[in-house]
Amino acid sequence: MSEYLKKTLSGQPTTPEDWSAHLLAAHRVAPSMSPQAFSECRNEAGLTSYEWLADTLSHLPSPTKIVDLACGDGYLIPLLQKKVGNVEIIGIDMSPAELTVARCKNLGPSVAFLEAMAHKTGLEDNSIDAVVCHMAFMLMTPIEPVVAEIQRILKPGGIFSAVIGNRPDTRGPLVTVRETVGKFMHKEFPKMAAPVTGDPRVESEDGLSEIIRPLKMLGVRDDQFGVNVEPGGFWNYIKNMYLVGLLSDEVRSRLEIAILASLGKPTGMLRLDSPMRRFTAEKMPWPR
């Protein structure tokens, strides 16, 4: 169990360093957790959230260099190559475990991977045409240094586009499951503090605009991504999430039972819907 999880479950305050170390531990235990959770979920147009994000690069004028920030196991990169051609792509992640998986995919000579923190990439000023980030921006804290780093490395006129989690606007099985997880955790750990997992401002459009202020916000769009699963599929979705994956096997086993019980006894498949938000911002061009 990580120091972050120990402190959270016992009601103690945590630090951004605790959270970063917890993320590293979670990805060491379960690399590729994000594609396993999201790669089968599609919106009404038939796109996955990865394809939805890659679409934002379709209109880039002759890009030469793109960064996949918090690239994980590199799942997004072939989709980027499909959209923008054989340009140079740099996958950046702080997790050695994820990068080991990514490098084994042999994605071509135009792809490089870099182990670095999002706020300190080491890349040159004004050198990147686009930065993309799938389901990780909302986990970064403190967030201002990350945005400053993105602004620094982007060329004038370059874009930053990200997909983040969003709050559901309707009830459904996943809402029931998340409520069950919350109730279970507070019953198991009565002193548990509210988890600090990123900057809460990312949850609103106004908050996002405040965070992204060094860049010009171009647009925000919400969509729903889903897949039909058997009841056990909800456990597969939850089991490696950050506040669950590092619990003891005994606690995780009881939580799995509680989740299945919360879903009742459905006779068929259930809909697992993941609401997401995509936003795109631009580094202001140099004046002519």
The pLDDT assigned to 62 comes to 81
List Cβ neighbours of 264 (8 Å cut-off, separation of 6 or more).
none
pLDDT by residue for the chain (288 residues), tens only, comes to 899 999 999 999 999 999 999 999 999 999 999 999 999 999 999 999 999 999 999 888 888 899 999 999 999 999 999 998 879 999 999 999 999 999 999 999 999 999 999 999 999 999 999 999 999 999 999 999 999 999 999 999 999 999 999 987 777 888 899 899 999 999 999 999 999 999 999 999 999 999 999 999 999 999 999 999 988 888 888 888 888 999 999 999 999 999 999 988 777 888 899 999 999 999 988 655
For domain 3-282, the CATH architecture is 3-Layer(aba) Sandwich (3.40)
Amino acid making up residue 83? K
Alpha helices by DSSP H, listed for 55-204, are 77-84, 96-103, 144-153, 173-188
The pLDDT assigned to 249 comes to 93
Task: Tally Cβ neighbours within 10 Å of residue 79.
Answer: 20
The pLDDT assigned to 1 comes to 84
The pLDDT assigned to 286 comes to 61
Q: What is the spatial distance between Cα 53 and Cα 158, in angstroms, rounded to a whole number?
A: 15
The pLDDT assigned to 276 comes to 96
CA distances from 94 to 53, 119, 129 (A): 21, 11, 22
Closest C-alpha among 20, 21, 273, 277 to residue 133 = 277
Strand order in the sheet with 111-115: 111-115, 88-93, 65-69, 128-134, 154-165, 270-282, 216-229
